[in-house]
Amino acid sequence: MSKRSLSPPVGGALIKKARATPPPSNQIVISSSNDDRNKGLVRTVQRTSNLEAPIVSLSGAHSAEILSCRFDPSGQNIAACSSDRGISLWRTYPPNTNYALLSSYAKAPILDLQWSLYSQLLYSVSADHTFTITDVTTGDKLRRIRAHREIINSIDRTMGGGAGIELVATGSDDGTVKVWEGGDEAQKHPVATLEIGCPVTAVCWSADGNNIYVGAIDNEIHVYDLRKQEEVYSLTGHTDTPTSISLSPDGNYILSPSLSSQTLIHDVRPFSSSANRIHRTLHGAPAGFENTLLRGAWSKEDGGRRVAVGGADRMVCIWEVESSKLLYKLPGHKGTVTSVDFHPKEPIILTGSKDGTMLLGEIEPAHAV
């Protein structure tokens, strides 16, 4: 692990940066004469977050495409993984330091990662068939488990059923989803193995930790009951492979983009008014021809009123869920936008791209949209 000038926090606690109140505003002064300031035009750009600027570029850590990037639960830190086999850790707020770079961390591209919900751990999966648990305060690998027989595409975690144990699900091209005990005392054997029957591209836990939503190349999302370890129903509607699955903050809906360039929101409440459970169908984010596993996200600071998905057109689409209205089509990247995430507390979106960079951008609060 190579560390930058600022080291990660020690002692297992994140260092929270004091935030300005109210959010800062930028003033741009335009004047035709240096001697006559009174006639200058002052334009104020209202800020909506505590970022250093409305758009912040995070670059220089990775030499290849970023495949997944996520805020930690506090919103103070960012982790990204890349096909260059590395993981980078960043500060969200000024000075936006890339404080750690875990180089050559796997033997193949690292495809997905998740922050632990309760500890200073990072879970990651790779095309070398391994699942790794990392202590981000030291950069040490606590566990490196050969978890599957084929490429592992997706990972998610939950606090299991009120037992105080973090559970991690991994989905692989070998057609299985495996459930592992998380934390720094994780075992090298899964607590459950679900046989899906075809390559798995996406996994996502339900809000109560009892069900797992599994996206596969049969174009369906399979819903498995972990207690019974069997499929209870499936969600249809996709005409091509779902590329990721993410759960709404209230636990009632799941978002799933697909290789057909169509993004669906399914209703996963116990009783749905729709026979096929399709709540919304969203268009505007092209998947392209590269079969990239595009990772979408729900907004968190407004309770999930918006969703976002990147596309092969190098743009990011943000929709209002209830109206299906396309609110933003955000430019800035020079390659396919592979991953997006929303800040847990502020109207900030994080995007990662095949151009090897990430962007942090402010958006308007939901009540102002």
Note whether 129 and 176 are within 8 A (CB).
Answer: no
pLDDT score, position 5: 43
| DSSP characters over 120-180 | SEEEEEETTSEEEEEETTTTEEEEEEE--SS-EEEEEEEEETTTTEEEEEEEETTSEEEEE
- Name the CA dihedral angle for 50, 96, 302, 326, rounded to a multiple of 10 degrees: 110
Strand partners, 179: 169, 192
- The pLDDT score that the predictor gives to residue 271 is 86
pLDDT tens for the chain, 369 residues: list them.
444 444 444 444 443 344 444 444 444 333 333 444 444 444 466 899 999 999 999 999 999 999 999 999 999 999 999 999 999 999 999 999 999 999 999 999 999 999 999 999 999 999 999 999 999 999 999 999 999 999 999 999 999 766 678 999 999 999 999 999 998 878 889 999 999 999 999 999 999 999 999 999 999 999 999 999 999 999 999 999 999 999 999 999 999 999 999 999 999 998 887 788 999 999 999 999 999 999 999 999 999 999 999 999 999 999 999 999 999 999 999 999 999 999 999 999 999 999 999 999 999 997 644
What are the tens digits of pLDDT across the range 277-295?
Answer: 999 999 999 999 999 999 9
Distance of alpha carbon 341 from alpha carbon 138, whole angstroms: 25
* Tokens read off for 162: 């009120």
Question: Cis peptide leading into 286, omega within 30 of 0?
Answer: no
pTM of the full structure = 0.87
Query: What is the spatial distance between Cα 178 and Cα 131, in angstroms, rounded to a whole number?
Result: 11
327's enclosing H/E stretch is strand 326-330
Walk across the sheet containing 2-3 and list its strands. 2-3, 98-102, 87-91, 77-82, 66-71
Q: How many residues make up the chain in this entry?
A: 369
The residue type found at 241 is T
Neighbouring residues of 226: CB distance < 8 A, sequence distance ≥ 6: 179, 192, 209, 210, 211, 212
pLDDT of residue 366: 79
CA dist., res. 159 & res. 246, Å (int): 16
Can you tell me whether residue 28 is helix, strand or coil?
strand
Q: Give dist(CA 84, CA 108) in Å, integer.
A: 8
Give the Cα separation of 243 and 263 in Å (integer): 10
Q: How far apart are CA 351 and CA 357, in angstroms?
A: 8
